[in-house]
């Protein structure tokens, strides 16, 4: 078994981005990458939706779209993993190249377009992983096919099939890479979809917590309405936030003009702002997962103090490798102790 050192992570970054990603998934799938992290202390343990999290740090959706490397990913020390996005039917996604490193900015741009093997393959992969045992809660992120005639029914199809295998399910209505998808995350379109989802969950043999992932561009009255709808239809929580179509003037990398969703360091401040706003709008009644630009223990702790019950990483993990997991978990434990908190839940929303 190989520990992916800084040198190894740097070697992967010498390859084209999507090639490096596929290679890393293959290594994880065959348990050829391990991390030297320590077991999270009890102060980081929490319980949410009846699930036990040994750490509030998870892996965001998009890394393991087909659920092929779940057990290897848990071995790195994540407290939970969100797999997907999965769509009912296989689709190739957008033409390559569609993933771009903005190294000077600590960022990525992707326009993958929900590429994946589809619901049947994904379900088989997760079922096999479940049978062998998973080390933490598993979230599954679901989407709609690009050419679907009825996107709401795509979400219903995925929800029904995956509810027995998921610890929570996330509705991805906020990817910028499927034309028209973001229109579902606000207004009457969102209300109709959430009503359909609520009816579906009510009819499940095993009810599953249902979350909604929002785009950072959602703001003002539209954001308020989306939060109200989430409360009205009793969603289990919100994930804040997806990648952004914005291009800050501060971007320096040559790929800054590529189309797609921007993630990483430039998203940190907007995602934090959104977390603060939504925590206030929901009056702390909705559990929130913070994602976007988290690349250090300070980033994670600030997001938790702003209202996040859990946090996820993606781009920081791509650049820093598995060592970031232990850096964040050990750093969170130190910050909790320094601020006099006995466990992580006490710190949620305590920002002053």
Please state, in angstroms and rounded to a whole number, the distance separating the CA atoms of residues 44 and 53: 8
Q: Please tell me the predicted confidence (pLDDT) of residue 180.
A: 83
- For the segment 218-241, the average pLDDT, to the nearest whole number, is 96
List residues bridging with 282 in a β-sheet. Answer: none
pLDDT at 8 over 80: no
Q: Which CATH superfamily is domain 2-347 in?
A: Aldolase class I (3.20.20.70)
Q: Please tell me the predicted confidence (pLDDT) of residue 341.
A: 97
Query: What pLDDT digit, counting tens, does each position of 253-296 carry?
Result: 999 999 999 999 999 999 999 999 999 999 999 999 999 999 99
- For the segment 198-218, the average pLDDT, to the nearest whole number, is 95
pLDDT at 125 over 60: yes
pLDDT at 3 over 50: no
Q: Please tell me the predicted confidence (pLDDT) of residue 14.
A: 78
In this structure, what DSSP letter does residue 16 have?
-
330 is known as an active-site residue = no
Q: Please tell me the predicted confidence (pLDDT) of residue 10.
A: 65
Cα atoms in the Cβ-side hemisphere of radius 13 Å centred on 143: 36
Sign of CA dihedral 22, 26, 27, 31: positive
Which residue in the list 117, 148, 175, 309 is annotated as catalytic? 175
Please state, in angstroms and rounded to a whole number, the distance separating the CA atoms of residues 262 and 239: 17
Q: Residue 179: pLDDT band by 50, 70, 90 thresholds? A: confident
- CB contact at 8 A, 341 and 56: no
Q: Please tell me the predicted confidence (pLDDT) of residue 38.
A: 76
């Amino acid at each position: 078994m190989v520990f992916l050192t800084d040198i190894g992570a740097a070697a992967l970054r010498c390859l084209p981005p999507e090639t490096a990603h596929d290679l890393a998934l293959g290594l994880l799938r065959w348990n050829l990458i391990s991390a030297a992290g320590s077991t999270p202390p009890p102060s980081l343990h929490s319980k949410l939706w009846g699930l036990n999290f040994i750490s509030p740090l998870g892996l965001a959706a998009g890394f393991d779209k087909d659920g092929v490397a779940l057990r290897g990913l848990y071995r790195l020390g994540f407290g939970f993993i969100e797999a997907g996005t999965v769509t009912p039917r296989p689709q190739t996604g957008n033409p390559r190249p569609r993933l771009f490193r903005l190294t000077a900015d600590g960022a990525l741009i992707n326009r993958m377009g929900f590429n994946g093997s589809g619901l049947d393959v994904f379900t088989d992969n997760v079922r096999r992983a479940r049978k062998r045992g998973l080390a933490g809660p598993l979230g599954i992120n679901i989407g709609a096919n690009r050419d679907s005639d009825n996107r709401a029914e795509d979400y219903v199809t995925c929800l029904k099939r995956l509810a027995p295998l998921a610890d929570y399910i996330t509705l991805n209505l906020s990817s910028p890479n499927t034309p028209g998808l973001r229109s579902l995350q606000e207004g009457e379109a969102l209300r109709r979809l959430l009503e359909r989802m609520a009816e579906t969950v009510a009819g499940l043999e095993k009810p599953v917590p249902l979350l909604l992932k929002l785009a950072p561009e959602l703001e003002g009255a539209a954001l308020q309405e989306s939060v109200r709808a989430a409360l009205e239809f009793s969603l289990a929580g919100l994930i804040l936030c997806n990648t952004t179509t914005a291009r800050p003037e501060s971007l320096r990398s040559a790929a800054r003009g590529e189309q797609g969703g921007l993630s990483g360091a430039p998203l940190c401040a907007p995602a934090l702002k959104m977390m603060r706003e939504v925590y206030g709008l929901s009056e702390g009644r909705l559990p929130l997962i913070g994602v976007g630009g988290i690349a250090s223990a300070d980033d994670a702790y600030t997001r938790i103090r702003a209202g996040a019950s859990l946090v996820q990483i993606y781009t920081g993990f791509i650049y820093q490798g598995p060592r970031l997991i232990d850096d964040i978990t050990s750093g969170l434990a130190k910050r909790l102790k320094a601020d006099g908190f006995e466990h992580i839940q006490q710190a949620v929303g305590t920002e002053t």
